[in-house]
Amino acid sequence: MRIKLNVEYDGTNYVGWQRQKNGTSVQQMLEDAFFAASGQRVGITGAGRTDAGVHAQGQAAHLDTDTTIPPEKLSFAMNAHLPADIKVTNSQEAGGDFHARYGAVAKTYIYTYYNAQHSSAIYRNTTAHVRGEIDVGAMKQAAQHITGTHDFLSFCASGSEVNTTTRTVYRLDIVREKPFLRIEITGSGFLYNMVRIIAGTLLDAGKGKIAADDVKKIIEGRDRSLASPTAPARGLVMKQVYYDDAEF
């Protein structure tokens, strides 16, 4: 049977979601936990390959197994073998045609800045520190150019292997709750480092380093060098993955 997992993790201590030779990944920890619980070695497919240091509140994944552990109990069985910074928050049987990666119709990410004179001790792993005044109105004005369907090549880091760099951003909200400044973005899919580059560019608009209307020119320029530096990984959280248009 195919089982769908919802996974939450603090990505600080990991090289990202995907298995790699240079360190421990979230995928590896989940596969090892499943083996410890069931005695079976299986591959676990995630909805998105989050980078090193990026977190998830609602990562989705699937695995195929003939284990006798009931699907709804698998989260408990796996969590018994997982560290405190990775947890399976839900497990359930899914149809055989369900695919965590290719079946996703949209994803929501949240990027959080900690806007204060000093960085936070408590939130050091989940926010990016920024000092000084930020014009949230300018950020919102700049964000209007990002929503919609565009070629986001200017917001894609090198090394990405995709057939097209066109994506649709359905919603982009900016919320100020001092000292936090949150950017919540929902789209059909995201390119390599796309959300973090958008976050860095919107911050530059808020700091007055670029004009809000410059974002339109950046998109039309289709050149990564036109956009701002990539925001740090620690401020990014994968909030939710959607498999039905009605969900979002």
CA pseudo-torsion sign 94, 100, 106, 109: positive
Catalytic: which of 10, 32, 51, 204?
A: 51
Is 51 among the catalytic positions? yes
Q: Is 208 left (phi over 0), alpha (psi -120 to 50) or beta?
A: left
Per-residue tokens: 151: 């070629």
Which two three-digit tokens encode residue 88?
Answer: 């399976």
Q: Following DSSP, what letter does each residue of 184-237 receive, concatenated?
A: EEEES---TTHHHHHHHHHHHHHTTSS-TTHHHHHHHHT-GGGSPPPPPGGGEE
Q: Assess contact for 91 and 8: CB atoms under 8 A.
A: no
Catalytic residues: 51
